[in-house]
Amino acid sequence: MGKITGFMEFQRQEEDHLEPAARLKNYKEFTITLTDAQAKVQGARCMDCGIPFCNTGCPVNNQIPDWNDLVYHGNYRYAVDNLHSTNNFPEFTGRICPAPCEAACTLGINNEPVGIKSIERKIADAGWEHGWIVPQPAAVKTGKKVAIIGSGPAGMAAAQQLGRAGHDVTVFEKNDRVGGLLRYGIPDFKMEKDLIDRRVEQMKAEGVTFRTSVLIGKDFPTTVSNMARETIFPEDLVKDYDAVVMAGGAEAPRDLPVPGRDLKGVHFAMDFLPQQNRVNAGDKVKDQIKATGKHVIVIGGGDTGSDCVGTSNRHGAASVTQFELMPMPPEQENKPLVWPYWPTKLRTSSSHEEGCERDFAVATKRFEGKGGKVDKVIACRVEWKDGKMVEVAGSEFELKADLVLLAMGFVSPVQQVLDAFGVQKDARGNARATTDGDVCYQTSVPKVFTAGDMRRGQSLVVWAIREGRQCARAVDEFLMGSSVLPR
């Protein structure tokens, strides 16, 4: 440990941000990476505790105390290697992961936890800045062919690992660019897309092939983004490849079946957010959904709802209100009760700070409008009794609404894709596959594996990367009988 008393001497320092007035002028990232001096101090706060719960709190099992110590000593070269030994894309997670590792930090029991996420971003950015992150092509090719469906973090992680194991890997993406929901879902002000592009170039140099605008499946729903110009049937893919990995997202959105749902101006969040990503990339988007000058209601209190808030404010919305069905959580968690697990507490995002009215324990009863277009939301207060939601008598109210964005999460992967492959599903509509046993991540269909949201349901980018890496090892073992890829 670099400084034995560092956790007692130094306070946590958050990354600096541009002020809201400045950052609302564009869609660029506004978080400022730590300086070397700041990172050294934050690394010194790591206690090097006997049982580093941060390691297990991190789904990819980053060796956090190790690279905290390396940063404290200024040894970024080894820190980059250490970080990449468990995480293919730390520049992604260092920006958009909610950092469950910090919730598990031992120092967080009675103090502010170590700023693990900010240090991770610092290490990853230093790796690219100094040219230490380079292609790692396989020395020997196996002659085996693997198809991967979906180019989000799970698909990209699986592809990179399998490519480095010597397999010929082809990634199929139904949209026109690689990245999945990292590309078309995460706003650019949270993660600029050149970060994806340079990883794609690295992977191409390692021998991975990307085929965009290609749909794998049949009868695709109109509620999910699809820019495909070519369709390949699953049976052809299974026939032509030695293994197939289904690594798409959980893209089926949760709907709100209330009166007035069909009015114009009521949209899923994923109708709204990807359009702005495309505009930022230079595309011309016909009939873009804009919040400019409108009273916007965002229904759903999670990260997707927060992204809708930030994007609406950049459009120049007249007002933004966000509804959450659950009661307002406490501002501070009960640490002795919940540590080292992810706590329930009030979380205020950078988008909320830019301007938003937040309302909790609110249920939407109906939408009303004129001329077929929404102009108000009728809602009510609710309370929870014996685990059931009950409307508070006399609490009905209405709000002006020119644009309503449904951001209530996702229920499952696209069922038509799973049905086209004929794989068994679990009770939640995910592809059924275990993470233990003789053949991990394998579905009920021979040669077909699954990982990420398609297997576990809507989840975090770190879980997607973890499952992509583990699935790659399972595929490698299936093809070769053994594997040297990490678990």
String of DSSP letters for 175-241 = SSSS-GGGTTTS-TTTS-THHHHHHHHHHHHTT-EEEESEEESSS--TTS----SEEE-HHHHHHHS
Q: Please compute the mean of the pLDDT values over residues 451-478 and round it to a whole number.
A: 97
Distances (CA, A) of 247 to 255, 303, 379, 469: 23, 21, 38, 11
User: Which stretches within 339-386 are classed as H helix?
Assistant: 350-353
Residue 482 clears pLDDT 80, i.e. is over it? yes
pLDDT > 70: percent of the chain: 100
Q: Please, what is the average pLDDT of the chain?
A: 96
Q: Give the pLDDT confidence score for residue 3 in this predicted structure.
A: 87
Contact 8, 41 (CB under 8 A): no
| Confidence category of residue 395, pLDDT binned at 50, 70, 90 | very high
Please report the pLDDT score of residue 125 as a whole number.
98
List, in sequence order, every residue forming a beta bridge with 391; answer none if it has no partner.
Answer: 382
Sign of CA dihedral 171, 176, 179, 185: negative
Q: What is the pLDDT of residue 220?
A: 81
415's tokens? 């069922």
Confidence of residue 222 (pLDDT cuts 50, 70, 90): confident
Task: Give the DSSP per-residue string, 60-73.
Answer: T---HHHHHHHHHT
Within 13 A of 125's CA, how many CA atoms are on the CB side? 16
In angstroms, how far is CA 287 from the centroid of its own chain? 27
pLDDT band at 224 (very low <50, low <70, confident <90, very high): confident
Q: Which two tokens stand for residue 271?
A: 């109708």
Phi-psi domain of 441 (left: phi exceeds 0; alpha: psi -120 through 50; beta: other): left
pLDDT confidence bin for 435, thresholds 50/70/90: very high
Per-residue pLDDT, 50: 86
- Tokens 């929901």 label which residue? 181
pLDDT at residue 206 in the model: 98
280-324, pLDDT tens digit by residue? 999 999 999 999 999 999 999 999 999 999 999 999 999 999 999
Cβ-based neighbour number of residue 135 at 10 Å? 14
Residues in Cβ contact with 391 at an 8 Å cutoff, skipping those fewer than 6 apart: 363, 380, 381, 382
Check whether 1 has a pLDDT greater than 70. Answer: no
Query: pLDDT, tens digit, for every residue of 138-187?
Result: 999 999 999 999 999 999 999 999 999 999 999 999 999 999 999 999 99
One-character DSSP codes across 449-476: EE-THHHH-S--HHHHHHHHHHHHHHHH
Q: Is the pTM of this model over 0.85?
A: yes
Q: Across the strands, what pairs with 410? A: 253
In the structure, what pLDDT confidence band is assigned to residue 487 with cuts at 50, 70 and 90? confident
- Pairing between β-strand 403-406 and β-strand 16-17 as defined by DSSP bridges: unpaired
Report the residue count for the chain.
Answer: 487
- The torsion angles phi and psi of 160, rounded to 5 degrees, stand at -65, -45
Mean pLDDT for 200-205 is 98
How many angstroms separate the CA atoms of 201 and 207, rounded?
10
- Alpha carbon distance 71, 300 (integer Å): 38
Query: What pLDDT score was predicted for residue 19?
Result: 97
**For residues 245-249, average pLDDT:** 97
Instruction: Dig out the tokens for 317 from the structure.
Output: 């919305």
Which amino acid would we find at residue 97?
Answer: C
Mean pLDDT on 60-81:
96
Give the dihedral of Cα atoms 371, 372, 375, 377; nearest 10 deg: 140
User: In angstroms, rounded to a whole number, what is the distance separating the alpha carbons of residues 178 and 344?
Assistant: 34
Position 205 scores a pLDDT of 98
pLDDT tens by residue, 93-119: 999 999 999 999 999 999 999 999 999
Residue 420 half-sphere exposure toward CB, CA atoms < 13 A? 21
Residue 450's beta-bridge partner residues?
Answer: 246
Specify the amino acid at residue 73.
H
Cα–Cα distance between 34 and 351 in angstroms, integer? 21
